[in-house]
Amino acid sequence: MEEKEKEKIEQQPESCNSDCSSCASAGNCSSQPGSMIEETNSFNDIKKVIGVVSGKGGVGKSLVTSLMAVNMSRLGHKTAILDADVTGPSIPKAFGIKEKATANELGIFPVRTKTGIGTISVNNLLENDTDPVVWRGPIIAGTVKQFWTDVLWGDVDYMFVDMPPGTGDVPLTVFQSLPVDGIIVVSSPQELVSMIVAKAVKMAEMMNIPVLGLVENMSYLKCPDCGKEIPVFGESKAQQAAEEYGIELLGRIPIDPKLAAACDKGMIELYEGTWLDEAAGKIEAL
């Protein structure tokens, strides 16, 4: 642990009521992640940062991140995606990005999608997309931090951070180093949903990050003939989990072969669907 972090822990009051406004240790306490926020490049003006998280992998964080960025872009906002899933990057594939990032003495340039969404991912830096990232946690966390500090994002209304699964080094780095305005929790319909949501919500609460709501992916399959919604993975537990942890259910994304094909072909910006309109409204209201 770095000396700076040790000092902060030592300076944390023994009794904390989470009311920083009346605390003598305000700004110098480990319960305040804002005290460790890293400055982004001086050329950047990033207004809102939204994390997309889950307590486990394979639930569709990258899909939700991509769809939210496209949604907000369609509403006229300047959007960007910071791909913090260093060992399993998916964003370039979803947007059909094959270009490598370039840089000059001022910093690294984000790679733009066809509709102008700024992105950065470790796959924009590797020689081959299939090269594995065999790095230890601190190096991965440092890379994510550099995506924030060294990239010339420019003017951004909403930046979405695609998190790796779980509650390890990278989510902790993002929550401590970036001025995160809120998170969207992604889940699937299986019984594990309560545990998945609980892990993400509790970590957010520990870091004093607002939870904007829950999005359920792979909720159902819609019959192309009769339109009936078929719960392939069982009945949805999303509403129940949302109520249990006092958060909103912002959307349910179906199993849609067309959506899957759009991701595989790098054409996510052409998707059609209103599943995340409520989530977009929630973010606009920040």
pLDDT of residue 22: 54
End-to-end CA distance of the chain: 34
Give the confidence band of 99 by pLDDT, cuts at 50, 70, 90.
Answer: very high
For residue range 161-200, list pLDDT tens digits in order: 999 988 888 999 999 999 999 999 999 887 667 787 888 8
> pLDDT tens, 199-226?
889 999 999 999 999 999 999 999 888 9
Q: Which CATH architecture has domain 39-284?
A: 3-Layer(aba) Sandwich (3.40)
Q: Indicate if the pLDDT at residue 266 is higher than 90.
A: yes
pLDDT at 35: 61
CB 225 within 8 A of CB 200: no
pLDDT, tens digit, 9 for 90 and up, residues 19-34: 554 565 554 554 554 4
Q: Delimit the domains of the chain by residue range.
A: 39-284
Q: What is the mean pLDDT of the chain?
A: 88
The length of the chain, given as a count of residues: 286
Q: Quick one: average pLDDT of 104-115?
A: 96
Residue 113: per-residue pLDDT: 98
Instruction: Give the per-residue pLDDT at 66.
Output: 98
Q: pLDDT at position 15, please?
A: 54
Confidence of residue 56 (pLDDT cuts 50, 70, 90): confident
User: What's the confidence (pLDDT) of residue 1?
Assistant: 45
Judged against a pLDDT cut of 80, whether residue 244 lies above it is answered with yes
Give the DSSP H/E element, type plus range, for residue 261: helix 257-264
Q: Residue 8's pLDDT band (boundaries 50, 70, 90)? A: very low
Report whether pLDDT(277) > 60: yes
3-state secondary structure of 206: helix
Whether pLDDT at 54 is above 50 = yes
Mean pLDDT, residues 4-16: 48
Q: Would you call 173 helix, strand, or coil by DSSP?
A: helix
**pLDDT surpasses 60 at 253:** yes
Q: Could you tell me the pLDDT band of residue 5, with boundaries at 50, 70 and 90?
A: very low
Q: Three-class SS string for 98-153?
A: CCCCCEECCEECCEECCCCCEEECHHHCCCCCCCCCCCCHHHHHHHHHHHHHCECC
In this prediction, residue 198 carries a pLDDT of: 87
Token match 């993400």: residue?
200
Please give the Cα distance from 219 to 247 (Å, whole number): 18
Question: For residue range 68-84, what is the model confidence (pLDDT) as tens digits?
Answer: 999 999 999 999 999 99
**CA neighbor of 56 nearest in space, from 161, 132, 167, 138:** 167
Contact in structure between 212 and 50 (CB atoms under 8 Å): yes
Classify each residue of 108-141 as buried b or exposed e, where b means 16 or more C-beta atoms within 10 Å of its C-beta: bbbbebeeebbbbbbbbbeeeeeeebeeeeeebb
Which residues on neighbouring strands pair with residue 185, listed in sequence order? 53, 214
